[in-house]
Amino acid sequence: MANRFTDSLFQLIHSLQKSEKRNFKLYIKRSSAKEDLKIIQLFDAIDKLDEYDEKILLKKLSDITKTQLANLKTHLYKEVLASLRLIKSTDSIDMQLHEQLDYARILYNRGLYMQSLKILERVKELAQEYFQDSLLGQAISLEKKIETLHITRSMRDRPERLTEEAIEVNERRKNITKLSNLALQMYSWYVKYGHARNEIEEKKVKKYFIQNLPSNAKMLTGFYERLYFCQSSCWYAFICQDFLKYYRYAQKWIDLFDEHPVMISVESGHYIKGMHNILNAHFDLRNYKGFAAALHRFENFAETPVANQHENFKVQTFMYLYTAKINQHFMHGTFKEGLSLVPFIEDKLNEYALYFDNHRVLVFNYKIATLYFGSGDYATCIDYLQRIINDNVDLRYDIQCYARLLHLLAHYEMGNFDIMDSLIKSVYRYMTKMETITIIEEEIFKFLRTSFHLSRRELKPELEKLLNKIKQFEKSRFETRSLAYLDIISWLESKVREKPMSEIIHNKYLASKRKLEPSETESSDTDILN
């Protein structure tokens, strides 16, 4: 899927909406000479392609040589961006501020210092209102330049004030850079490896986190400082499978936007990601009531103009909303009902193929496979798992391992005992190589090696033994890592009680509805470093 869209210009043109394509053509006709209008022909030809093929493109544009095509593509790319900049300049606060800074520089270069300072004052007010410190720093820098080179007499204490402002902004920027770097590294670690597999990995992650966390991180008050602190802490807790702390910082992440609602439209991507994390936290804690409330809030957000302003936000909202909807079916044990989501998700995966990364496709394939497994459709489950197994991507080794384990269990359920021995060896070898084998998986492999030779009468006691063994490790974070990917306990209970796995999970959901939900007050107030 990803190879269909390797050309940058093809990607850009196919990301445009109809109104944007129309505006581009109006822009180019106004600003270009007649000989430059060849780029419109190129634009139309690329727009009609389903996938990029240069040979087909050159056939359609018979009067353009291969050498000319490369130059025209570069020119067209720049012009498309220029037209988008004109019509999108009011879409975001940072673009508005950049535009005003450009005006201030133009006025300064023309010797109109006072007019430039007037614009810069307004830029600073807006930058402070929306926490845009990088642009605030640029405005202060230009102000300092004007005051240093020219006698403006605009304000007696201006030098002292500008000095204080510059120091304050630089200090904030330093903290933001440190915390955003830490958040990025924590997220990158998770995308590549998943949860910490053992104490050695957890200590390694903890050491990195502590060493790179500013000592005053918890006392910082700026929006972005607090945002990146929450993100860093979220990912750290999630990697270590400390789900209560993960919930705590995911909630603080969302609380920050509730405290500054204007920032939802400024940092929509971060807000969407925050909603995804709070939903994940409720899911991991089986916080049924909290999950339902957060999902309802996210569904309402998905209908707002902010969520639909750009393709980027539409795609992100779709990804995380439908991940949450699948997770709700996992929580409730309503696997068959969840299958109704699959056709729509598949359509959207094709529609948004230009924007989806391998990681998100991998996650969707695993979750859809699990829906089919829980529904008892093991053949279709295997089809989706094969997409993961056959696509050797260098990320989420955890999902790749558990996809193979689920693949093994699906063949076991189908009674494909003639291939079980070779499959068990293959999956065991792979998981050992990736160092993901826990005691729970060792016990499952031991059971599978012998169980398909047992009679039905002999099988049930062995299943009960395995269930009791696994339940002993329920409170061990590293040993129960597999339970985050597949509810092995419910699967075994379904085999022992001879009931569908969906029924077992659904009964647990009904029983849990009467219990207290984990809340913010239940999470520890101790520092995440403890």
| Per-residue model confidence as pLDDT tens digits over 289-308 | 999 999 999 999 999 999 99
3-state SS, one letter per residue, for 395-463: CCHHHHHHHHHHHHHHHHHHCCCCCHHHHHHHHHHHHHHCCCCCHHHHHHHHHHHHHCCCCHHHHHHHH
Asked if pLDDT for residue 485 goes beyond 80, the answer is: no
Least confident of 161-175, 389-403, 486-500: 389-403
Q: Read off the pLDDT of each residue in 205-223 and give the average, rounded to a whole number.
A: 93
Rounded Cα distance, 461 and 446, in Å: 15
* CA distances (Å), origin 472, targets 208, 241, 387, 466: 32, 18, 34, 10
Give the pLDDT confidence score for residue 344 in this predicted structure: 96
Asked if pLDDT for residue 395 goes beyond 90, the answer is: no
CB 202 within 8 A of CB 240: yes
* CA distances (Å), origin 346, targets 22, 170, 349, 487: 30, 47, 5, 25
230 or 28, which is more confident?
230
137 or 482, which is more confident?
137
Asked if pLDDT for residue 2 goes beyond 90, the answer is: no
Asked if pLDDT for residue 67 goes beyond 90, the answer is: no
CA 36 and chain centroid, separation: 41
The DSSP letter of residue 348 is H
Give the pLDDT confidence score for residue 70 in this predicted structure: 87
348 or 158, which is more confident?
348
Predicted confidence band at 152 (pLDDT cuts at 50, 70, 90)? low
Query: What residue has token string 């270069």?
Result: 109
Asked if pLDDT for residue 520 goes beyond 60, the answer is: no
Q: pLDDT averaged over the chain? A: 87
Q: Read off the pLDDT of each residue in 206-227 and give the average, rounded to a whole number.
A: 93
Asked if pLDDT for residue 528 goes beyond 70, the answer is: no
What percent of the chain lies above the pLDDT cut of 90?
51
Give the pLDDT confidence score for residue 154 in this predicted structure: 59
Q: Which two tokens stand for residue 165?
A: 């402002």
Predicted confidence band at 378 (pLDDT cuts at 50, 70, 90)? very high
Phi, psi of 218, rounded to the nearest 5 degrees:
-75, -15
CB 80 within 8 A of CB 24: yes
Give the pLDDT confidence score for residue 432 in this predicted structure: 85
432-478 pLDDT, tens digit each:
887 767 888 888 998 988 887 777 788 889 999 999 988 887 777 76
What percent of the chain lies above the pLDDT cut of 70?
91
101-121 pLDDT, tens digit each:
999 999 989 889 889 999 999
Q: Read off the pLDDT of each residue in 124-153 and give the average, rounded to a whole number.
A: 86
Asked if pLDDT for residue 151 goes beyond 80, the answer is: no
Predicted confidence band at 506 (pLDDT cuts at 50, 70, 90)? very high
Give the pLDDT confidence score for residue 155 in this predicted structure: 60
Give the pLDDT confidence score for residue 526 in this predicted structure: 38
Rounded Cα distance, 269 and 316, in Å: 8
Give the pLDDT confidence score for residue 456 in this predicted structure: 79
Give residue limits of the domains in the chain: 2-88, 93-154
* CA distances (Å), origin 228, targets 129, 219, 252, 414, 461: 19, 13, 11, 47, 51
Rounded Cα distance, 400 and 394, in Å: 10
* Of 420, 346, 415, 340, nearest in space to 372 by CA: 340
381 or 65, which is more confident?
381
